[in-house]
């Protein structure tokens, strides 16, 4: 048996060393890939939901309810004026129920939430699993969460609005002869104060964490997340800027118009009218509120200007210090044309 030469051992080491290095590198890559896979399976990547989108979604839902209410009010336009305002709380609750029924109850987002590419997710079912990869997966709301959401948003707001209107109508806060009513009024005010303080605290937490816009979402653990990871902006920034400018301008008008006296403005602009004869003829026959010929003509006392009965009665009932729309004189009573005056 002959021993290998010294050069043979060197040649063999040079041949096997690169193979050993490649095998060790491959083993390290396999271990790293396995670690990454285990991390993806057992870790939740942090996500950040835009706070502006969540607030805008709430604002869009309010605008949608206002649009539906405006269209529904037009259906009862020919009915007795002021009758629909007696059931305004029921009307608001009915519209909110319709939005809830055809959106959240059927596992769909509300119109405002859908426009912002958001959806509700049950945080209680997501946290114990620890298998969320992108941070957007997770089940929707359960049946119990949907029902409690309806009870809180629809039923709670309706009961609270009716309780406030009833207590204000009965003057619980002004009476001194019924101590129980006074105590209930103080209790209502304290509950409202506590709720407002809690809502303000929740708003501060929302601005810091980006979770749960209101107390109802925090109590139900219903979080808004993106419905789709990728979404193209369908509205240009120029259009959005115009909408923001118009929104601010309309809010400014809504703030300033009630401070202006419409009768004084009309009297100021009357000398610049082109057709003065037709205007004077119209002033004597048409109602200054609805601009139509009165079906049941009534006159305001003491100025003797003619109105429709429903128009004048509604304005006097809504504002005890109502002033005539033509001469701005306080109306103390109303009288049917040729009849007996009534307060």
Note whether 204 and 74 are same-domain residues.
Answer: yes
Show the domain range for 302: 297-336
Give the three-state DSSP class for 235: coil
Band of pLDDT at residue 282, cut at 50, 70 and 90: very low
Q: What confidence score (pLDDT) does residue 208 get? A: 92
Helix (H) / strand (E) containing 222: strand 222-226
Q: Which helix (H) or strand (E) holds 66?
A: helix 51-75
Choice among 103-112, 120-129, 136-145, 303-312 with the minimum mean pLDDT:
120-129
Distance CA 248, CA 341 (A): 45
213-225 tens-digit pLDDT: 999 999 999 999 8
Note whether 204 and 328 are same-domain residues.
no
What does DSSP assign to residue 286?
S
Same domain (yes/no): 303, 172: no
Enumerate residues 6+ apart whose C-beta is below 8 A from 71: none
What pLDDT shows up at residue 237? 63
For residue 26, pLDDT over 70 is answered with no
Please check whether residues 322 and 218 belong to one and the same domain.
no
pLDDT higher than 70, residue 340: no
Mean pLDDT confidence for 270-299? 66
List the strands of the sheet with 333-336, edge to edge. Answer: 305-308, 297-301, 333-336, 341-342
Q: How many CB atoms lie within 10 A of CB 96?
A: 19
Determine the Cα–Cα distance for residues 100 and 104; give it in Å rounded to an integer: 5
Phi, psi (degrees; rounded to nearest 5) at 323: -110, 150
pLDDT score recorded for residue 123: 86
Do both 157 and 306 map to the same domain?
no
Nearest to 146 by CA among 68, 51, 216, 94: 216
Residue range 288-299, pLDDT digits in tens = 888 888 878 888
Q: CA nearest 49: which of 142, 113, 108, 128?
A: 113
Of the CA atoms within 13 Å of residue 191, those in its CB half-sphere come to 9
Whether pTM > 0.85 for this model: the answer is: no
pLDDT grade for 257, boundaries at 50, 70 and 90 = low
Is the domain of 181 the same as that of 92?
yes
How confident is the model at residue 281, as a pLDDT? 42
| Residue 194 or residue 134, greater confidence | 194
Residue with tokens 């997340």: 225
Among residues 226, 246, 278, which one ends one of the domains? 226
- Say yes or no: 100 and 217 in one domain: yes
Dihedral angle over CA of 74, 77, 83, 87, nearest 10: -10
194 and 327 fall within a common domain? no
Percent of the chain with pLDDT over 70: 67
Q: Are residues 201 and 308 in the same domain?
A: no
- pLDDT level of residue 278 (50, 70, 90 thresholds): very low
Rounded Cα gap, residues 122 and 137, in angstroms: 10
pLDDT by residue (tens digit) across 75-87? 777 666 666 777 8
Per-residue pLDDT of 117-165, as tens digits, reads 899 998 888 755 445 455 677 888 999 999 999 999 999 989 988 888 8
Both 222 and 304 in a single domain? no
Measure the CA–CA gap between 186 and 193, rounded to whole angstroms.
Answer: 10
pLDDT band at residue 196, thresholds of 50, 70 and 90? very high
Does the pLDDT at position 254 exceed 90?
no
Domain boundary among 226, 247, 281: 226
Q: In this predicted model, which residue has the larger pLDDT, 179 or 121?
A: 121
**Are 60 and 181 found together in one domain?**
yes
Query: What's the number of domains the chain is made of?
Result: 2
> Does residue 67 share a domain with residue 192?
yes
Instruction: Give domain status of residue 105, yes or no.
Output: yes
Let me know if residue 41 belongs to a domain: no
User: Parallel, antiparallel, or unpaired: how do β-strands 341-342 and 333-336 relate?
Assistant: antiparallel
Angle at 238 between CA 112 and CA 71, to 5 degrees: 40
d(CA 89, CA 163): 11
Looking at residue 338, its pLDDT comes to: 67
Tell me whether residue 260 is in a domain. no
Mean pLDDT value of segment 316-329:
80
- How far the first Cα of the chain sits from its last, in Å, is 136
How confident is the model over 201-251, as pLDDT tens digits? 999 999 998 889 999 999 999 999 888 776 655 555 666 677 778 877 777
* pLDDT tens per residue across span 35-77: 655 555 545 556 778 888 899 899 889 888 888 888 887 777 7
Question: Could you tell me the CA-to-CA distances from 252 to 55, 189, 246, 282 in Å, in that order?
Answer: 21, 30, 10, 32
What is the C-alpha to C-alpha distance for residues 163 and 178, in angstroms, rounded to an integer? 18
Q: What six digits make up the tokens of 129?
A: 């699993």
Per-chain mean pLDDT for the chain: 77
- Structure letter (DSSP) for residue 42: H
Token code pair at residue 48: 């950040």
Angle between helices 179-209 and 157-170 (to 10 degrees): 140
Q: What is the DSSP letter of 2?
A: P
* Residue 4 in this model has a pLDDT that exceeds 60: no
Distance CA(313)–CA(73), nearest Å, equals 20
Greater confidence (319 vs 261) lies with 319
Last residue of a domain, one of 204, 226, 248: 226
């Amino acid at each position: 048996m002959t021993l290998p030469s010294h050069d043979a051992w060197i040649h063999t080491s040079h041949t096997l060393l690169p193979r050993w290095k490649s095998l060790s590198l491959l083993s390290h890559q396999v271990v790293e890939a396995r670690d990454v896979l285990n991390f993806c399976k057992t870790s939740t990547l942090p996500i950040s939901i835009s706070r502006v989108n969540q607030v805008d979604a709430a604002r869009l839902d309010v605008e949608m309810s206002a649009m539906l209410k405006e269209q529904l009010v037009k259906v009862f336009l020919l009915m007795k004026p002021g009758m629909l305002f007696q059931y305004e709380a029921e009307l608001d609750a009915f519209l909110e129920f319709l939005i809830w029924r055809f959106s959240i109850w059927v596992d769909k987002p509300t119109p405002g939430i859908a426009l912002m590419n958001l959806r509700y997710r049950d945080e209680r079912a997501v946290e114990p699993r620890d298998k969320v990869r992108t941070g957007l997966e997770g089940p929707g709301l359960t049946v119990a969460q949907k029902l409690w959401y309806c009870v809180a948003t629809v039923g709670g707001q309706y009961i609270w609005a009716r309780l406030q209107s009833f207590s204000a109508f009965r003057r619980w806060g002004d009476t001194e002869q019924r101590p129980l009513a006074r105590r209930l009024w103080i209790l209502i005010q304290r509950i409202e104060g506590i709720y407002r303080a809690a809502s303000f605290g929740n708003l501060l937490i929302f601005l810091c964490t980006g979770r749960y816009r209101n107390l109802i979402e925090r109590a139900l653990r219903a979080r808004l997340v993106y419905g789709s990871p990728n979404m193209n902006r369908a509205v240009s920034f120029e259009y959005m800027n115009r909408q923001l400018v118009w929104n601010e301008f309309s809010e400014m008008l809504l703030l300033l118009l009630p401070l202006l006296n419409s009768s004084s403005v009309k009297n100021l602009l009357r000398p610049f009218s082109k057709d003065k004869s037709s205007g004077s003829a119209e002033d004597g026959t048409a109602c200054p509120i609805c601009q139509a010929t009165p079906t049941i003509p009534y006159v305001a006392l003491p100025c003797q200007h003619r109105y429709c009965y429903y128009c004048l009665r509604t304005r006097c009932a809504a504002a005890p210090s109502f002033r005539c729309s033509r001469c701005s004189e306080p109306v103390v009573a109303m009288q049917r044309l040729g009849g007996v005056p009534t307060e």
